[in-house]
Amino acid sequence: MGAPFLFWVLRGMADIALPMKLLNYINGQLNEPLSGKWLNNIEPATGLVYSQIPDSTAEDLQAAMEAASAAYPAWAATEAAERSRIMLRIAHLIEENLELLAQAESQDNGKPVGLARVMDIPRAAANISFFATAILHQNTETHYNQGHSLNYTLRQPIGVVGCISPWNLPLYLFTWKIAPALAAGNTVIAKPSEITPLTAFLFSQLCIEAGLPAGVLNIVHGRGGQIGQALTEHPKVKAISFTGGTATGKVIAATAAPMFKKLSLELGGKNPNIIFADCDWEDMLNTTIRSSFANQGQICLCGSRIIVERSVYERFKTDFVARVKQLRIGDPSEDVNIGAVVSEPHMNKILGYIESARQQGAQILTGGNRVQVPGRCANGYFLEPTVIDGLGADCNLNQEEIFGPVVTIIAFDTVEEALDIANGTPYGLAATLWTQNLTRAHQMAEKLDSGIVWVNCWLVRDLRTPFGGVKQSGVGREGGWEALKFFTEAKNVCIKL
């Protein structure tokens, strides 16, 4: 059912006009922007415009708000089991359309299609089914004061909520936000990144096919500073869940705080990957390749600072660089390890950091350049995976989020020094530790300024666990009950006995 429907939509639109136009999803229908204005969407692997998205304005937001407000009372009153059934239908449709969605994600973002097949799209389906079933198990607290009072807590949906998602894991992070919001009984206005809008548009088709009632989810496309800002500012939006850059997070916080909106901010990272001499060397090397360069290094969890015990520093450099050189870079629709980075400005930003490293006298152990991929990808935004040595822990490359296929290596002598370096940035999202010494691992895990610590692994996810960062990596936690708590208000009911 699903795949032919989506193919029909894409082909049908391509027949009418090229580039294809992606539409807003408001009140259960696909709509053009009220202003009639469009933005170009570029395929990172080719540098060519291949679709257009609505350049939505406050007028489109108002239409979405009216739809979401009208749908709210019925959706909030719908039994959890029924909300769950509808959401599971959406999850199944994602699975049925896995190949099409993976190809779309790869085209839109530049990521290898193989990665989208095994990570992005399966996880998007899992996000929906996880919260669709979690809501069936939600329970609330009671506080019984013998002979005096009985208190119980209601966890009620908030109303209309806003979800704003980024371009690095487009459908994965989009669904990670809207799934708990919808499961808890809220209605949603969601804004995907204007840089990667395609799978959110395809997702709106799946919601229609699954029979999601009109207005329960509304998807508005367009620029962050325009439609994203309008969404954050709207007085009827009760909560904002945002994933993106720290600078944008600050703007959103400043806008939302005076209106006392609930805020969940998942922002940047500058994550340490700490390697001790006693680790399982092969496992560490294989995982460190992934934690450094998966998705072209454009994952907020990537371990961009590799902090290595001095006794194995030279060995690490030799072994790691040899493996990095084996990574295949190229057309993301083929079997490659490294695709294109998401946009030309982003590529230039990353190249700027590499240039800055050179100017500071760093050694580029491998990489450091743009790659010319022959054929259809000749103008694509490809970068070599890059390993940099010889920079101090306080320099810009070790303090700022580069968000590309670039890692630095730093040596340490003692546990205290490793902790100082690891904790010495404004960020605190995820840290990885490689050691066979469990006592040391437990002790360090306690001391790392970080929302997440992975010991002898990376990006091993259990959707029940709290997910988020400290310091400038964000506010609040997503995942499991944390997300359902965020998207509900607790109300205490006290009965005097």
List active site positions.
266, 300
- Is the peptide bond between 345 and the residue preceding it cis, with omega within 30 degrees of 0? no
- Least separation in angstroms between residue 422's CB and ligand TXE is 19
**Distance between CA 470 and CA 454 in Å, rounded?**
16
Question: Which residues contact ligand TXE by CB under 6 A?
Answer: 164-168, 191, 193-194, 224-225, 228-229, 232, 243-245, 248, 251-252, 266-268, 300, 401, 403
**Distance between CA 358 and CA 406 in Å, rounded?**
13
Nearer to ligand TXE, 229 or 273 (CB): 229
**Distance between CA 241 and CA 483 in Å, rounded?**
10
Enumerate the H helices of 40-188 as residue ranges. Answer: 58-77, 80-96, 98-109, 113-115, 121-134, 170-183
Nearer to ligand TXE, 253 or 338 (CB): 253
**Residue nearest to ligand TXE according to CB distances in the complex:** 224
- Count of Cβ atoms closer than 10 Å to residue 370 Cβ: 15
- Least separation in angstroms between residue 261's CB and ligand TXE is 12
> Using an 8 Å Cβ cutoff, are 486 and 180 in contact?
yes
> Using an 8 Å Cβ cutoff, are 164 and 61 in contact?
no
Nearer to ligand TXE, 244 or 332 (CB): 244
- Least separation in angstroms between residue 332's CB and ligand TXE is 18
Looking at 80-228, which runs of residues are DSSP E strands? Answer: 142-145, 149-157, 160-164, 187-191, 217-219
**For the chain, how many helices (H) and strands (E)?**
17, 25
- Least separation in angstroms between residue 402's CB and ligand TXE is 7
Note the residue count of the chain: 497
User: What is the dihedral sign for C-alpha 202, 203, 205, 206?
Assistant: positive
Nearer to ligand TXE, 205 or 343 (CB): 343
Nearer to ligand TXE, 92 or 290 (CB): 290
**Distance between CA 339 and CA 381 in Å, rounded?**
9
- Least separation in angstroms between residue 242's CB and ligand TXE is 7
- Least separation in angstroms between residue 58's CB and ligand TXE is 13
**Distance between CA 410 and CA 130 in Å, rounded?**
39
